[in-house]
Structure 1
Amino acid sequence: MLEIKTLGSLSEITELKQQYFALSTVPLDGMWHFGFVPMSAHFAFFEESIPVGFCCINGEGYMLQFYLSPRAKCQVTELFTLIAEQKSDVIGEVQGAFVSTAETAYLSLCLDSSSSFKINALMYQQNKQQQVGTFEPLEMALANQQQLSHFVSFAADNIGAPEQWLSGYYANLIQRQELWGYWCEGKLLATGECRLFDEYQVGYAELGMIVAEAERGKGIATRVLNHLINHASKQGLKPICSTESSNIGAQKAISRAGLISENRIIQFEFTKGN
């Protein structure tokens, strides 16, 4: 008989997490899976006291990951339907799910249970076949801890992210030497991130960038990405990134930098059970 329990430590499902990532057809979005997922509630599925699967639900009631091992005796469709229809007393309310098209099994289950869906973001990988143009190098400097407040204010002003979250996020990137700034006359005009994975997707580097609103449309975004791609390549890593489906400007810059999007992150709304 299957039992659902709230997890206190993710170490209990390390092997299951490895199996989950191994099933994806391309590397998964790092911000979702290593930024948002650890902050979400995790639930494990047990059979005879052995964990055979898990799911995680964020604070807004959306599922971010779901996996059931082939060794499990229960039917995956029945379990997923139980959760999606909010019939699990342990898990409780589940509004919907976020899932990428690279997670085919999870995606199929979401399609079966959804009432509607929309594209949330586009996922990009390097396109080796595409001839990338020559860009004037951008003088970007690694961020240091003394500049933390500048980076926090810059991101808060230009993308509206909360400063408290940004402070911890950028402090970590600075400590790992994964954050750069493009400065002109003492003013921060753009930031670039080249985030490395500590587990599961260690052969890749995830890129991110922000350009000041007043400086957009000048080609700076593409040059920032070109700097980050070169940095990743020198370390033998393959660059990946993503952007919201509504951010047309970023999509154009990413494409000009030689990255191609073949996968999407989908937001599903679930059909509620009776």
Structure 2
Amino acid sequence: MLDIKKITTLSDLSELKTAYFAGSTAPLDGMWHFGFVPMSDHYGFYENDILVGYCVLNGEGYLLQFYLAPTASANIADLFTLIIENNNSVIGEVKGAFVSTAEPQYLSLCMDNTESFKVNAMMYRQNQESDASRHSGRIEGIKMTLATEEQIDKLVEFASSAIGAPKEWLTGYYSNLIARQELWGYWENDSVLATGECRKFDEHQTQFADLGMIVAQAERGKGLATRVLNFLIQHANSQGLQAMCSTESSNIGAQKAIARAGLSSKNRILQFDFD
């Protein structure tokens, strides 16, 4: 008999999360799995009071992770179908799922249950540590400086104006990056022209650095994005880390900048909508 219970202590899932990431064929997107997932609801699958799996559901009713240990007695396909057909009162309504093409089992479960999906984001990865050095000779250098707490108001205002993110969320997010020395700024006459993020992983995928950037609208199309990325890649490589990043499938400008910086995309994040 399998029971489903809501989990409030995420450390209970430590071993299962390790197995989940070990089963991926490529590094998973940092913002999705270490930004959005911890803020979402976690549900554990129990057999004889032993935790054998879990799933993650965000506030909009979309699954973000799904895992059942191979040692479990339950059939994973039957369990997945049960949950997405809203037949579990603990989890409630499931509208769809976000899944990477680097998560083969979870992806297969989604594809078995619906043909309706669209590409949400492109996932990029540095192929070899030498990529940055090969491209750096063709890209004009840029000098970025580590962000400080004294600059946070300007950085938040810049990011909010450039991408429309909520200021309250940005303040907390940037404060954490600043404390970890993972946020950089490119300034001109006391104005922010671009920001860059080089985020390290505290667990799982610790050999990678997850990059992010924002370029002022007035500066786009001038090659600044590629220069920012090149700086971040070199910074990651100097710490023995391989660079990775992602961008929306509709952001053609970012995709071109990422490709020019030497990163390639073999995986996608897909959005499934269940009927």
TM-score, reference length from structure 2: 0.97
Asked if the contact 1:119–1:267 (Cα under 8 Å) also holds between the matched residues in 2, the reply is yes
Other-structure match for 2:236: 232
User: Aligned partners of 1:220, 1:252: CA distance in 2, in Å?
Assistant: 12
Paired residues for 1:59-74 under 5 Å? 59-74=59-74
Asked if the contact 1:96–1:114 (Cα under 8 Å) also holds between the matched residues in 2, the reply is no
User: Aligned partners of 2:254, 2:102: CA distance in 1, in Å?
Assistant: 21
Asked if the contact 1:152–1:166 (Cα under 8 Å) also holds between the matched residues in 2, the reply is yes
1:187-234 Cα deviation digits (max 9, x unpaired): 100000000000011100000000000000000000000000000000
1:95-152 Cα deviation digits (max 9, x unpaired): 0000000000000000111251000000000133865252121110100000001111
SS in 2 for 1:208: strand
Gap runs ≥5 in structure 2 = none
Paired letter, 1:61 = G
Paired letter, 1:44 = G
User: Aligned partners of 2:77, 2:56: CA distance in 1, in Å?
Assistant: 17
Q: Count the aligned residue pairs.
A: 271
Gap runs ≥5 in structure 1 = none
RMSD, aligned CA: 1.0
1:144-170 Cα deviation digits (max 9, x unpaired): 000001111111000000001000000
User: Aligned partners of 1:108, 1:62: CA distance in 2, in Å?
Assistant: 16
Paired letter, 2:120 = N
Asked if the contact 1:54–1:68 (Cα under 8 Å) also holds between the matched residues in 2, the reply is yes
User: Aligned partners of 1:73, 1:80: CA distance in 2, in Å?
Assistant: 14
Other-structure match for 2:224: 220
Other-structure match for 1:260: 264
User: Aligned partners of 1:194, 1:139: CA distance in 2, in Å?
Assistant: 15
Paired residues for 1:161-172 under 5 Å? 161-172=165-176
1:245 and 2:254 are equivalent in the alignment: no
Paired letter, 1:150 = K
Asked if the contact 1:191–1:211 (Cα under 8 Å) also holds between the matched residues in 2, the reply is yes
Deviates further, 117-126 or 107-116: 107-116
SS in 2 for 1:170: helix
1:59-105 Cα deviation digits (max 9, x unpaired): 00000000000000010000000011111111001000000000000
Sequence identity percentage:
63
User: Aligned partners of 1:46, 1:141: CA distance in 2, in Å?
Assistant: 49
Paired letter, 2:271 = Q
SS in 2 for 1:28: coil
1:37-79 Cα deviation digits (max 9, x unpaired): 0000000000000000000100000000000000000100000
Other-structure match for 1:45: 45
User: Aligned partners of 2:142, 2:86: CA distance in 1, in Å?
Assistant: 51
SS in 2 for 1:152: helix
TM-score, reference length from structure 1: 0.97
Other-structure match for 1:17: 17
Structure 1 residue 12: Cα displacement: 1.3
Paired residues for 1:1-274 under 5 Å? 1-128=1-128, 131-132=134-135, 133-271=137-275
SS in 2 for 1:166: helix
SS in 2 for 1:169: helix
